[in-house]
Amino acid sequence: MTQREEITYFGAGPALLPTPVLQTAAQALVNYNGTGLGLAEHSHRSKIAEDVLNTAKADLATYLDIPDNYEVLFMQGGGSGEFSATVYNMVGIWVEKRKQKILKELGIAEGKDISEDVIATELRKAVEEELKIDYLVTGSWSLKASQEAARLLGPEYVNIATDSRKINDGKFGKIPEEKSWNLSKNPAMVYYCDNETVDGVEFPGFPEVLKSNGQDEEPIVVADMSSNILSRRIPVKNFSLIFFGAQKNLGCTGVTVVIIKKSLLPPTIATPSPSLMRKLGLPIGPIVLSYETIAKNNSLYNTLSIFDVYIAGQVLKSLLKTFSDKVDGQQAIAEKKANLIYAALDAHSNVYKVVSDKSARSRMNICFRVTKSQDVAESEKQFIAGAEKIGLTGLKGHRSVGGIRASNYNSISLEGAEKLAAFINSFAESK
């Protein structure tokens, strides 16, 4: 029987969790804090559940230095659910902002009654002429997000501001220069995936072109950080919304976290009525995907998996205990691990081909092909088999692209990365 300590698991997700966290969680699953019940059995309306949730939110805010003008939501549905939620919510916000602008242009004082039909007529014209959602398509997940937006809204409202396949022979692997992006004027949001797990592409930093210039209306920037959250410092203030599934660096499958500016929630901005959205021909999202509803109920509108929140909270406590400089400390380790692995691959360029361009290499998902022989598939089969013999597992690439993928998440130790780098070297040098 293989023991846990004998392997280093490089799977892309669900990912490896710290063993001490799992040991603590195992006890909590049976009997939480001497209550006689496991945490998964306690009511999500209980004081116990509320404390677990609020502690996790506070520790996340501390670790990432989230400003006070942001709200943290725990939701369900994963990243794919957020592909839809962002569309429903951000389009609704765009409609409400446009409505207020129309009322002002018509000289109608706030609070004064006006027929919804009159507003709908003006808004319908604005929707048809102005509504756009911008997507930066740099990999498989941002592509899926854009496709979901087109399915929900209609392709006429979706603007692919950039598609990296157009500069890379039809494949993902690069991020086009910002000057080439075709961004809309005041879109409902600009959406991008900060780290593409399938294609090994990561934005090196926040795009300059999306920064507020303090003059125009502040851009609504939405980012999917499911696979690199907690691994590096991020300028939270530059984003309107960040979301991430827990199952890479934060915890296990079951919860999704949203960090959203409070200015995008009531009482700062209202949600358009369902009847108005219907008159505009725009979709109305499920209530469990409503940021307003989830925020109003402190993430407890429906039955949240508190046990999964607890695991995430334990991961955060472990990170805060390990790194006095919080996320900066983890970032230094993540970069050191990634550099070790990439250096080994680059040292044998006749044997390995890194999928992504050096300008956009992911620190979290290191994707490469093994070209040791003309039969690439056979070379990769031998590579995986050899790695597994020494406890390096989960290296098979995504089914849609094949190849090798080493997911270098926070739970991968420096020793694990060193062991993989050593194997990359030895495999290249073997006959």
pLDDT tens across 146-204, in order? 999 999 999 999 999 999 999 999 999 999 999 999 999 999 999 999 999 999 999 99
Q: Is residue 96 part of a domain?
A: yes
Q: Is residue 401 part of a domain?
A: yes
How many independent structural domains does the chain possess? 2
Same domain, 177 and 112: yes
Same domain, 277 and 342: no
27-41, 140-154, 206-220, 245-259: least confident range:
206-220
CATH code for position 93? 3.40.640.10
Domain boundary among 308, 335, 364: 308
Residue 340's domain comprises 327-429
Q: What is the pLDDT of residue 424?
A: 98
Q: Is residue 251 part of a domain?
A: yes
Domain boundary among 259, 279, 308: 308
Paired sense of beta strands 241-245 and 365-370, if any: unpaired
CATH code for position 360? 3.90.1150.10
pLDDT class for 428, splitting at 50, 70, 90? very high
What are the tens digits of pLDDT across the range 106-124? 877 555 667 888 889 999 9
Give the pLDDT mean for 409-421: 97
Q: What is the pLDDT of residue 109?
A: 59
What are the tens digits of pLDDT across the range 253-306? 999 999 999 999 999 999 999 999 999 999 999 999 999 999 999 999 999 999
Same domain, 332 and 278: no
Q: Is residue 292 part of a domain?
A: yes
Q: What is the pLDDT of residue 238?
A: 97
pLDDT class for 216, splitting at 50, 70, 90? low
Same domain, 185 and 332: no
Give the pLDDT mean for 308-315: 98
Tokens 């195992």, located at residue: 26
What are the tens digits of pLDDT across the range 77-115? 999 999 999 999 999 999 999 999 988 888 775 556 678
Same domain, 110 and 203: yes
Q: What is the pLDDT of residue 374?
A: 86
CA distance 404 to 418: 17
Same domain, 215 and 301: yes
Same domain, 355 and 241: no
Same domain, 93 and 151: yes
Q: Is residue 173 part of a domain?
A: yes
Domain boundary among 308, 338, 366: 308
Q: What is the pLDDT of residue 408?
A: 97
Of the chain, the percentage scoring pLDDT greater than 90 comes to 92
Same domain, 112 and 214: yes
What pairs with residue 8 in β-bridges? 392
CA distance 67 to 65: 6
Same domain, 336 and 304: no
Q: What is the pLDDT of residue 217?
A: 76
Same domain, 224 and 373: no
Q: Is residue 25 part of a domain?
A: no
Q: What is the pLDDT of residue 110?
A: 57
Q: Is residue 317 part of a domain?
A: no
Q: What is the pLDDT of residue 130?
A: 96
Q: What is the pLDDT of residue 112?
A: 63
Mean confidence (pLDDT) of the chain? 95
pLDDT class for 213, splitting at 50, 70, 90? confident
Same domain, 299 and 333: no
What are the tens digits of pLDDT across the range 316-334? 999 999 999 999 999 999 9
Tokens 């739970």, located at residue: 411
CA distance 13 to 156: 34
Q: What is the pLDDT of residue 116?
A: 82
Q: What is the pLDDT of residue 1?
A: 83
Q: Is residue 14 part of a domain?
A: no
Asked whether the beta carbons of 340 and 417 are under 8 A apart, the reply is yes
